[in-house]
Structures are given as C-alpha cells and as structure tokens.
C-alpha cells in the first residue's frame, strides 16, 4: 500500500516480499557503514516484521522507498517509536542504498515523512539520530528543518558519539 508520494519516489508499507530486496541493501557494508554492522538475513526479516507490527499497532513505521522512474526499491524511510538515549521518541530514520547516494533521495523521503508525522499523525516531536561522523545524514536532517539538540554515546551502536536532531510542532 502506497503511503506517500513525492516527485521521484513512492513510499509504501513493507511486506514479507520485500525481505530479499531490503536485505541486499541492509547487508551492504558500504550502505550500512554507519550502523553497528550490516544486517544478517535474520536481522532483515526482524526489521520488516517490526515495521509490519508497527503499522498495525501505531499506523506508521519505516516504509520501502521505490524510485518511480524504474520501480526499484532503493531504501527505507519512516518513523519508529523507540527509546533513544533513555527517552521514548518518534525517531525519523532513512537508509538509502549507496549507489543512490548524493541524489537527494534521502532528503526527499525524509522531508515527506517529517511532514506526514507532524501534519497528518500530529506527533508532538520528531527526532533523527546519527553518528557524529555521518555528515550526509546530518545534512539531510538540517535540510528538512531539524536542529541539533544534543550528542550522546549510543550504547546501541558501539557506544559511539551520536547526534540527536529534532523538530517540534
């Protein structure tokens, strides 16, 4: 089911049929270089199942990003309710497969998800978290109007220094 549409992208709910395509992205060491590690096949399955559960429980989650021009699945983007630095937050995340980096897809998808979260879901606050050395992710957060809130050591990702960017309504 399509959830959002932008000029170049469709964002739709993930399904079990997406696992293989998403795994090619999530297992890629370049794409996942800012994560704790590239995903195993089981981790990808759990990721998709978590999102499917989130759709049914909360009405949102991460969605598959489809490039309109070619119908390719190029990443995922969306909002998850999760604990970040000890606080339950609406976390806006985005992963674009590395062959598609530097084309504005993350900004386009994240901007649409931010608007959806604030205007449609009426969420009180969105955050995005990323390692401090993930310059491209910081730029995406800033381009969509989020501002730096703090930096913390993230125990979920090798205890590395991690920025939190936020946007409040």
Q: What is the pLDDT of residue 168?
A: 62
Query: How many domains would you assign to the chain?
Result: 1
Give the domain CATH number at 155: 3.40.630.30
Regions in the chain scoring below 70 on pLDDT? 1-2, 168-169
Nearest to 6 by CA among 73, 66, 63, 59: 66
Domain that holds residue 7: 2-168
Is pTM beyond 0.85? Reply is yes
Nearest to 49 by CA among 36, 32, 65, 61: 61
Q: What is the DSSP letter of 69?
A: T
């Amino acid at each position: 089911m399509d959830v959002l549409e932008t000029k170049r992208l469709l964002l739709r709910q993930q399904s079990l049929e997406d696992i293989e395509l998403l795994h090619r992205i999530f297992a890629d060491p370049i794409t996942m270089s800012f994560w704790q590690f590239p995903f195993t096949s089981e981790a990808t399955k759990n990721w998709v199942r978590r999102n499917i559960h989130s759709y049914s429980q909360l009405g949102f989650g991460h969605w598959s990003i489809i490039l309109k021009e070619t119908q390719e699945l190029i990443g995922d983007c969306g909002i998850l309710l999760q604990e970040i630095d000890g606080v339950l937050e609406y976390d806006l995340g985005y992963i674009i497969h590395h062959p598609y980096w530097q084309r504005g897809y993350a900004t386009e998808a994240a901007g649409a998800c931010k608007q959806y979260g604030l205007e449609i879901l009426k969420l009180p606050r969105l955050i995005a978290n990323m390692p401090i050395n993930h310059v491209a992710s910081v730029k995406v957060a800033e381009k969509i109007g989020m501002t730096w809130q703090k930096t913390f050591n993230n125990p979920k990702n090798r205890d590395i220094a991690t920025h939190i960017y936020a946007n409040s309504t």
